[in-house]
Chain A
Amino acid sequence: MPDRLRRLLSGPASLGYAVLTATAVTYLLVYTTNLGHLPTSFDYLSILNTTLPLVFVAIGQSLVVITGGIDLSVGGIVAFCVAVTATRVHGSGLTPFAWLLAILALGTACGAVNGVIVARARIAPILTTLATLSIFSGLALWVLPVPGGSIPSGVRMVLTNPTVPTGLIWLSLAVLGWLVLRRTRFGMRVYAVGSDETSAVAIGVPAARIKIAVYALSGLCSALAAVFYVSTTTAGDANAGGPFILTSIASVVVGGVAFSGGRGSALGAMAGAVALTLVIDVIFFAGIDPLYQSLFQGLFLVVAVLLGTGAALIARARRGAL
């Protein structure tokens, strides 16, 4: 058992877990000193429901970053899917759920477009997704020119029930999904492509197909995020996607995923996403002017990465000394 524990702590996601633990402890301290009691289940549930969309986007983003790329278009895909969700998903019975499936397919297709351009046309991921960000954002505005729309309460009760922690189920499913993916041959190949694409191609890994699939999965994750976003906010906004671009990258970084590719885990990125959301609550309960929010998020990001590199350096020095 200690062996397994050590592996968990030295694994690629350890930075994310460490940062999440530190943030969670700070949150509990700040909350109880301010309000005189521990957070209630309502608090936990609200954190869970607000953090879910970012968690999903972070999973997709981490997959892309593991292949050595970056996906700026998550903002556009989230916005597009939010717009479609808020305007098309209504009615009762099974119809809204059929629409939800269609929206997931839509997000996947958008992601696949990125993948094809990156893998087949060989345009740098940052540029490809910058251009498609503009396209998908435009599509979002076309569907939903002014903020509005709605979502049936039936769907809401299933996705992000404000009183029952259904969100927990979805979070567990996301974790499970990642664990399954990691245990497929596809999962192994994703890391191979990210670690050294030339070598991977030389030994017969179909790198182009892997990349297309990864960008498509990132699109799927963005669509999931959009659905949960509309469910928590109960309305849509074509500009909803913007903030996810930089926060998802931040989550991935805090989660210990290496930008050079090939190293990291979506679990770390998920932890990073929750930690980033918690920081906002910490700032709130610490009585700091919320205007300073991004200052702390920015510092948080840089310090987390410095801690990560520092820890890696110490580990290497120790290994070298042995």
Chain B
Amino acid sequence: MPTEDRAWMESSDEAPRYIRRRQWLKALGVAGIAGFAGCQGDGDGGTETAADTPTDTPTESGTDTGTDTQDFGETATESTPVNQLPEPSGTYDTVTSAAYTTLNPLYNTEAGAGDAIGFALDGGYTFDDQQEYFPLLYDMSTDNGQVWVFEVREGLEFSDPYGEVTAESFTYQIQELHQTDWAGTADSASWGSGVNVEQTGTYEFQAELPSTNILYPESFDPLLYPVPKDLVQPYVEEQDAEGLRQDEELLELQFTGNLGAFVLDEWNRGSGTTYTRNDDYYIQNIDEGPDLFEGAPYFEGASTSVVQEQSSRLGALETGEADVASIPPTRFQEFDEKESVNVLQIPQPYNEIISVNMRDNGWNAGPGNLFRHIPFRQAMAAAINKQNLIDGVFQGLAAPHYTWQPRWSRFYPEGADLSTFGSGDQYGSDYARGLAEDAFEMSEHDYAFDGDTMVNPDGDQVALTLYHSAGQETERLESEFAAQELNNNLGMNVQVEAIDGTRFDNEYWSNNPVEPGTTATVNGEEYTWNAPSPNNGGPRSATSNQAWDMSMVFGLNTFPRNPLTNQFFFDGPNSFYNPVGYYPEFNAPELFQQAREATSVEEVERAFAEIFVNVAREQPYIMLAFPDGLTGYNPDLVGPIENFSNGWNFPAWRFEEG
């Protein structure tokens, strides 16, 4: 039951065209996305997100067809034959921190709602615990990475009177909804006009991409939820986007037939959803997957409850009212010792970083902007001891973050000469000060050290502000630790300030875009901003409403399955997502181009090894740590695993009395 990772910018409203929301998700690990089994909805674990529903994990991607270094975690797939299928029992109860905006699968953009939809409606595919493509509604194959063939599974049925799911159910949806301007569906950008879709049989269709993409499934662009043609056709004929968005059958998932593990009974807008078991779930008859799928699902029902308060969610987990909830690191020990809770540490791709503002309204400590000089960012990274941060703030439940990829990813440049600022020899006052002095030499202004203090040209101590999200205890501790280290090792006076996340996003993080067509010279080359947006408003003169220096408010996604998505951050001045005004000083566009045009995973790996070594060197964001995703489960629940794909085999999950 895949939970698609489309979900960041809430409010699926009447926008005429929609963001590449998966790309958004991928691009923005910011509060509101996580989307992996049961590790959301927390508010204190680093990424604050929407739901605690351990359904599935297909967040970003990575066709890691099983080689070398990757280690996405524990692989506990049951492959042994099952003599007797368990009897369904109990209800699988989850809690979520935010109510859903819509359950209409054509318009959903939220991870939490994606989980709620996923209980009643499977998406096209998922990735198993070996990170292999696992077909649910359709299989995908390609010869050259450019033409992808989709084979729709037979025996898939919508509810009456809509009949069977065929290739046309998907091609009609793609061509008449996603590839038109009027509907503005969530997937519109995934199926841009450059993708040529054609039905080639009753159960087969193909998509021809503008160029090769060997990580196409991992991009989740081709992930679809089926909707009946007859249901949407009247809206298509009238081009009635509002009607399509507000259709009750779509909103209440009344068409899902045998396509999901459960049938939605009720969606109470304020309090959550309830489901009953779907006796005809198609997965019982498929050949792939564990034998246990034959009798799936093994719960009599399921529910999601909106519980905004974290302590209430944890309380519900403890009393057994909820079967899953995410655990903040500060309470890991406490819950780990409880017999009533089984805590899992699940790998996750969101990072903890300090964003430094390289735009014109950053660096408010004097003239110039030292953040723009690589050695200065390196100095900051070298001044903060990563292991002490992990031990002190994350109770040891995190890994050091050196480059834009977790170590368990196959794309991590293992063995390369990688900068490891903040660890070993590359940590310490002398080392950091040496780098800072290199940066002073590059600056036009007279920054210097006066004894232990870093001073500006006026001789005053460099004083900067570091923002963190209000109410996020872990983030506050992290900020204070970083401020202390920067003070001790670089003599900077860093003031830590709390700020509301939404306010920070609107007033500080989002730039005011320049006019399209604006040109500027960056690193000796002239660039034109044809489509400036609040996430990259243009050259460094395009700034936010309020000046700011540093922030820990947002963590970002590193995309261990499909690192190509990282081009949004690092692909030069015109990157889609560049609120901080970072311009790489290595040849990022060419390396990303190599990765995009690769015809094998090995080629992608080679390109990314080079990219990630350079990113580690340039520190576009000051990289600190990868916290573990901590999720507490009912100890009687069998199925959850400490794997990046936790939840892929949700139909086989069940209760067994411990």
| A, B bound | no
Residues of A participating in the B interface, judged by any CB pair closer than 8 Å = none
Residues of B participating in the A interface, judged by any CB pair closer than 8 Å = none
